[in-house]
Structure 1
């Protein structure tokens, strides 16, 4: 799907290469017959608005949106497994799916990064691609509504992804739920994530590192609530496409 390829680039960290090739993205979308004309127009308008910004401003906005807190993370398993042990195995299973499709990631790339997952789906048949999007539709809808309430234009990309998924989910149905969510990118919330207890190496207060990690995670859990989804057996759980 052409549109999916374009969206995967638009959801990645903004670079000069994207700015230099914006006309090529728009030209490609003119051939994206998998989307209604209205949805194609939304993507084109997003590209224009994004690339009219100064690159440094766009990069700063991107980091503010997706790299602070967990609520808008582009790591899919953040919304599925959280910090559970099953996350590691899910990563391995998804990597195996990528390898079977001929995709090799570097040691620094995470397989559940949404743009990477979208790139993977473009290599599958149309039916499998739609199924792969449908499997993550609950996450897409949640991110769409969170971005919309944040006032970010990036919600457009998630609205289009939901359209491509052919899911019956409507992000607006989550509006009331999202309004009640505590913010996880405030200074207090971020401090709760990164704060470390004072380590006592001698005496009765000494504790092992594992206990410190558990306490750290509990502090974060009390600060913000992450919604987790069961996306079935098609996303990093060993299912074959």
Structure 2
């Protein structure tokens, strides 16, 4: 499903390559008959805003949204397991699932990074896609509610994923809870997190240490992305649908 690749790119860090691919991405969305005309129009309008926007502003907004606090993390298992040892096993299981399907990863992202997960789903059949999206629907619903609360365009992508499986109504179940949450992206909240992570003695196994290290590396990479406009990204070929 090529539209999943487009949604993956829309949730990833903005680059010049993404802006240049906007016309092709818009055509893919226009042709996605599984979505309502209104949803297609809304997504295409967002893609045009990306194409016409100032890249540095887009990147700064992205980092402010996803690199400050964990409430809007695009790492799926962080919403379920945090950095516990259970997350480590879940990572191992997901990685094995990728490899069994012939989906090989590069070293840049963790297996549960949502855009990467969507790339994997784009290689599955419709039943597989629906099943996997159904398994993470509660995560997507809470994430969408948080993104909507922050008036972020990325809420359009996560809501679309729920719409593909007829689960968009689940978002409303989380809205009141999200409004009552204490924001974790304030200066005080961020200072508390960094103080906690400066010295951590809670790891009870090598697996725990590995997950904590990987999560820290992910956040460090995100901070580097804010300073590195040239970060590479794979884009879709409008004819073949291949990634490059």
Sort the TM-score into its range (normalised by shorter chain): 0.7 to 0.9
> Is the 8 Å Cα contact of residues 8 and 118 (structure 1) preserved in structure 2?
yes
Q: Which has the higher contact order (CA 8 A, sep 6+)?
A: 2
Q: Which runs of 5+ in 1 are unaligned?
A: 200-208, 218-241
8 A Cα contact 2:20 2:51, kept in partner: no
TM-score, normalization: structure 2?
0.78
**Aligned pairs, how many?**
205
Aligned residue in 1 for 2:2: 2
Residue 182 of structure 1 corresponds to which residue in structure 2? 182
CA distance in 2 between counterparts of 1:83 and 1:15 reads: 29
Structure 1 length normalisation: TM-score?
A: 0.79
Residue of structure 2 in register with 1:28 after alignment:
28
Structure 2 counterpart of 1:91? 91
| 1:55 to 1:47, Cα distance in 2 relative to 1, 3 A | same
Distance 1:54 1:94, change over 3 A: same
- Aligned-residue CA RMSD (Å): 2.2
CA distance in 1, matches of 2:142, 2:154: 13
CA–CA distance in structure 1, aligned partners of residues 197 and 73 of structure 2:
26
CA distances 1:77-132 after superposition (whole Å, capped 9, x unpaired): 00011121111111011011111121211233200000000111111110110111
Counterpart position of 2:38? 38
Question: Structure 1 residue 105 and structure 2 residue 105: aligned?
Answer: yes
2:136 alignment counterpart: 136
**In the alignment, what sits opposite 1:146?**
146
Q: Which residue of 1 aligns with 2:167?
A: 167
Q: Which has the higher helix share?
A: 2
Q: Give the deviation of 1:197 after TM superposition.
A: 9.5
Misfit runs of 4+, over 3 Å: 196-199
Residues 168 and 150 of structure 1, relative CA distance in 2, 3 Å threshold:
closer
